[in-house]
Amino acid sequence: DIQMTQSPSSLSASVGDRVTITCRASQNIGSFLNWYQQKPGRAPKVLIYGASSLESGVPSRFSGSGSGTDFTLTITTLQPEDFATYYCQQTDGFSWTFGQGTKVEVK
Amino acid sequence: QITLKESGPTLVKPTQTLTLTCTFSGFSLDSSKEGVGWIRQPPGKALEWLALIYWDDDKRYSPSLSSRLTITKDASKNQVVLTLTNMDPVDTATYYCAHRRPYILTGYYSDYFDYWGQGTLVTVSS
């Protein structure tokens, strides 16, 4: 099984900050990495697919990068609505694996 | 507009079998490349993928739960059903179904979950 490890598990930030979340796969997954945002009591929402492609309707302050085993989600200018938990997710076509999540909290 | 909605019991007893139904609209599971997955989330914990079924009835299961899971589809009713046997309190979670969106990258198909149901909380307790 491919394991996904996110860091940090949580972070405190202020509106306007640049935020970076990392995700590491236990083996090479190419660029098959997706990022989701989840707010309390809500279903997850996809932000990025294919490591760096922005899902339609998602603000451009969100970006993704990386390939192989190391990936990054960046929020360039944190907005009030961005305080949430973020998950990375991979698939190799046989199983789908989520990271443990990164909670972005108000500083 | 794609929508999905989960339905099923909110409370099950240990050792019972959980049956959840995902009723969807806006796409057809008869159409090529379509798929529906199930994902769960214990209270305060991370997301965990459970199973996925493709338009051609190909199925994938979480390796850690494969012996307890079954996923089926009824394309004529626009429904996907997930069963999880031998329920335990650790299976208490919000269960989501989600639409699989395929994409091509460097010549290979992959996918992500683009539309999700609202989720249904299932509690396992005697």
Closest residue on chain A to B108 (Cα): A32
Q: Grade residue B110 by pLDDT with cuts at 50, 70 and 90.
A: very high
- Give pLDDT tens digits along chain A (107 positions): 899 999 999 999 999 999 999 999 999 999 999 999 999 999 999 999 999 999 999 999 999 999 999 999 999 999 999 999 999 999 998 999 999 999 999 99
A95 and B108 within 8 Å at the Cβ level: the answer is no
HSE-CB at A16 with a 13 A cutoff on CA atoms is 0
Question: How does DSSP assign B73-107, residue by residue?
Answer: EEGGGTEEEEEE-S--GGG-EEEEEEEEEEEEETT
- Coil, strand or helix: which one is A27? coil
Query: Which pLDDT belongs to residue B77?
Result: 96
A7: contact with B, CB 8 A cutoff:
no
Q: How far is CA B56 from CA A6, B79, B109, in A?
A: 34, 14, 16
The reported pLDDT for the residue numbered B37 is 98
Which phi and psi (to 5°) does residue B32 adopt? -55, 140
Q: pLDDT for B57-74, tens place per residue?
A: 999 999 999 999 999 999
pLDDT given at position B11: 98
* Mean pLDDT along residues B104-109: 90
Whether A78 and A14 have beta carbons less than 8 Å apart is answered as yes
**CA distance linking residue B112 with residue B7, whole number of Å:** 23
Closest-CA residue of B relative to A55 is B114
Region B9-35: mean pLDDT is 96
Residues of A in contact with B116 (CB under 8 A): 43-45
Chain A hits for B60, CB-CB cut-off 8 Å, are 94-96
Query: Tell me, what's the pLDDT at B106?
Result: 87
- CB neighbourhood size of B123 (10 A): 14
pLDDT above 90 for B1: yes
